[in-house]
Amino acid sequence: PGGVAAKIPAGPRLAISTPLLRGSMSLVGARLDDLVLTRYHQTVKKTSPLVQLLSQAGTAKSYYVQFGWDAAPGSSLKVPGPDTVWTSSGGDLSPAHPVTLSWNNGAGVTFELKLAVDRQYLFTVQQRVINHGAAAVEAYPWSRIRRDFLPEEPGSFTLHKGPIGVFHGTLHEMGYEGVKSGGKHPAAGDAPGTAYQTTNLGGWAGITGKYWLTALIPSQGREVIGAYRYLADPGQPEHGGYQVDYMTAKPVDAAPGATASTTTHVFAGAKVLSILSHYETQYRIPLFERAIDFGWFFFLTKPIFIALDYLAGVFGNMGVAIIVFTIGLKLVLFPLVRTSYRSMARMRAITPKVQALRERYKDDQMQQQKEIMALYKAEGVNPAAGCLPMLPQIPIFFSLYKVIFISIGMRHAPFVLWIHDLSAEDPTNIFNLFGLLPFHPSALSPFLHLGILPIIMGITMWGQQRLNPPPPDPTQAKMMQFMPVIFTFMLGRFAAGLVLYYCVNNTLTILQQWTIMRGTNAAPRAAANLNAKG
C-alpha cells in the first residue's frame, strides 16, 4: 500500500479542530498530515510551540497517515491515487461535525472517506465503495502511517521507539534499525522493503515514541494483512521512510447499485493511560494499553504508574506524589527491611568472632569455612537472612525508575523552586557555581553536570553508609567510601523525579535503620560511625 512518499504541492485542505487536537488534512491524496497536540508544548515554557505530531510530506519531518484502495489483480478498476484531489462535503472536521470526502472515477464508481473524530485522540475513517455501474467491483482498502525521519533520541534498552503492534494477540515491537535492515532483505514472496508481515484478525499497529503514538486500528473481526516496511528513496538505499500499513486480506465486493465499506480507527495523540484504557475497553482493542512501554515488570510498573497519577491528582504536584508514594512504599516494605536490619545487627555482633576464626585458620580455608558455619549455627545466625528480604525490592525499584522515565504525567511537571521539569535533569550545576559563571560545563563533558538535588542525594547516601560499620577488608572499605561520590555523578544526569525519589528513600532508610537499631548495642556503634570524621 502507498508506495514511495511524494512531495505534494500545496492544495485544498480540510481543517480539524477538537479540544485536544488542531490541524488539517490534505485533500490531495487524502493525507492526515498536519496535527498538533493542544495541551503539550515542546519545552517547559508555555510560550513555546505546541508539539507537532504529524507533518506534511516533503517537509524535513514528514509524518502522515493516508488511506486508499488497490484494485484487484487483473482488474481495470480506476482507484484514487496519491495525486487525487478529493471533494469535501463542507465545513471543518470536529467532534460535532463529521465530514465526507468523495471522488468519482468517471466509470460509475464513487469512493468515499467518511471521517469522524472524538473529543480526545481517535479518528474513525469509513472507506466506502459505491457502485453505480452495471458490473460488480472489487477493491482492497488500505491504510498506512509513514514517517520519513528518525527521532532525535533513538530508542534504547529501556524504551522502545518505532513500529509497534499487536498481531495474533501478542505485542510485537521492532526498532527503526531492525525495520531498515529487515526491509533490505525481505522474505520470499514479500514486497520490497517488507521487514515484517502477517495476516490476522484485527489487532492494531502504529509508530510510537516516548510520549506520543500514531496507530491504525482495523475492525477487530476483519482479516487484515499488517506490515512494517522500510521504503528506500529511489537510488538512495540509506534514505527513505518507515511505514506501518494494513490491507484487507480479502477485497470488498460492491455489487451493481450496492456499497461496500470497511472501517479503521486512527489514534493520534499522547499516551495517556486512562485514554488508552478507555479505547481498549470500548472498541475491544487487544493490549492497547501496552502502547505505553511498561517494560518487563509491567505487572508492577502499571500499578505504580496508576498510583503516582492518582496521587498527583490528589496533591496537585507530581513531586509531592513521588514523596508520598515513597513514604507509603517504605511503610509497606518495613517488615522486610526490619528483618534485614535485625539480621545485619546480629551479624555485626559476632563479627569479632568471625574475624578471629579467619585469622586462626587463615592457612586452612576449608577448616575456616567449617568453623564459621559452626559459629553461625551456634549463634542462630543466617548470613543470607539480611539479603533475602531485600530481593523483592529490586523489581520495585526498577519499575519505579521505568515509570518516572516514561510517564507523560512527569513530562514538564514542576516540583518546587528550581525544579521545573521532573522528567529532565536538575538544571543547576555546581561546576558553574549554580549559574553564577556564564558557561555550561556539560558542553565540555556530560559528567560536568551536578545539580543541587543529586548533591543532596549523595549526602543522604553518605549518611546511610555511615550508619554501618566499615567492611573488615581495608581495600573494600576504601572502595565503599567512594560509592556516594560515584552514585552522585551517575545520577547527576538522571531525571529529577528519580533523584528526588532516591533522596526521600535514602532519608527514610536512615530513619528506619536508626529506629530498628535502637534498643540494641548497635545503636551506639552507629552513632559513633555517623559522628566519625572521614
State whether 342 and 257 are in the same domain.
Answer: no
The pLDDT > 90 percentage for the chain reads: 62
Residue 354 lies in a domain: no
* Rounded average pLDDT over 423-445: 87
Do 273 and 343 fall into the same domain? no
Q: Does one domain contain both 284 and 318?
A: no
Per the structure, the complete domain to which residue 73 belongs is given by: 13-293
- Greatest distance between any 2 Cα atoms in the chain: 104
Mean pLDDT score of the chain: 89
Instruction: Give the Cβ contact number of residue 357 at 10 Å.
Output: 19
Quick one: what percent of the chain has pLDDT higher than 70?
91
- Residue 165 · residue 204 · CB < 8 Å: yes
pTM for the whole structure? 0.87
**44 inside domain:** yes
In this predicted structure, what is the pLDDT of residue 385? 63
DSSP string over 326-364: HHHHHHHHHHHHHHHHHHHHHHHHTHHHHHHHHHHTTT-
Whether 67 maps to a domain, the answer reads yes
pLDDT category at 464 given cuts 50, 70, 90 is confident
Query: What is the pLDDT, as a whole number, of residue 286?
Result: 98
Residues 6+ apart with CB under 8 A from 488: 450, 454, 455, 457, 458, 461
Q: Is residue 527 part of a domain?
A: yes
Say if residue 223 is in the same domain as residue 342.
Answer: no
Together in a domain, 331 and 416 = yes
**CATH number, domain containing residue 230:** 2.70.98.90
pLDDT band at 528 (very low <50, low <70, confident <90, very high): low
Q: Is residue 192 part of a domain?
A: yes
Residues 390 and 436 in one domain: yes
- Asked if residue 2 has pLDDT above 70, the reply is no
Residue 259 inside a domain? The answer is yes
Q: Within a domain: residue 196?
A: yes
Q: Are residues 252 and 335 in the same domain?
A: no
- 279 and 409: one domain? no
Average pLDDT rounded to a whole number, residues 270-278: 97
Return phi, psi of residue 414, to 5°. Answer: -80, 160
The whole-number pLDDT of residue 525 equals 52
pLDDT digits (tens, 9 = 90+) for 17-50: 999 999 999 999 999 999 999 999 999 999 999 9
pLDDT band at 8 (very low <50, low <70, confident <90, very high): very low
72-76, 218-222, 523-527: range with lowest mean pLDDT: 523-527
- The residues, ordered by sequence, that sit 6+ positions from 514 with a Cβ below 8 Å of its Cβ are 467, 523, 526
Question: Residue 144: which H helix or E strand, with range?
Answer: strand 137-147
Q: Are 234 and 107 found together in one domain?
A: yes
Both 259 and 321 in one domain: the answer is no
β strands within 251-397, DSSP E: 252-254, 259-270
Query: Stretch 121-137: mean pLDDT, rounded?
Result: 96
User: What's the grid cell of residue 206?
Assistant: 502504529
Does the pLDDT at position 472 exceed 60?
Answer: no
Q: Are residues 272 and 324 located together in one domain of the fold? A: no
Last residue of a domain, one of 293, 322, 340: 293
Q: How many domains does the chain have?
A: 2
pLDDT bucket at 7, cuts 50 / 70 / 90: low
Confidence category of residue 389, pLDDT binned at 50, 70, 90: low
The verdict on 184 and 327 lying in the same domain is no
Q: Which of 27-41, 123-137, 221-235, 328-342 has the lowest mean pLDDT?
A: 328-342
Is 371 within a domain?
Answer: no
Fill in the DSSP letter of residue 219. Answer: -
Of the candidates 293, 324, 341, which is a domain's last residue?
293
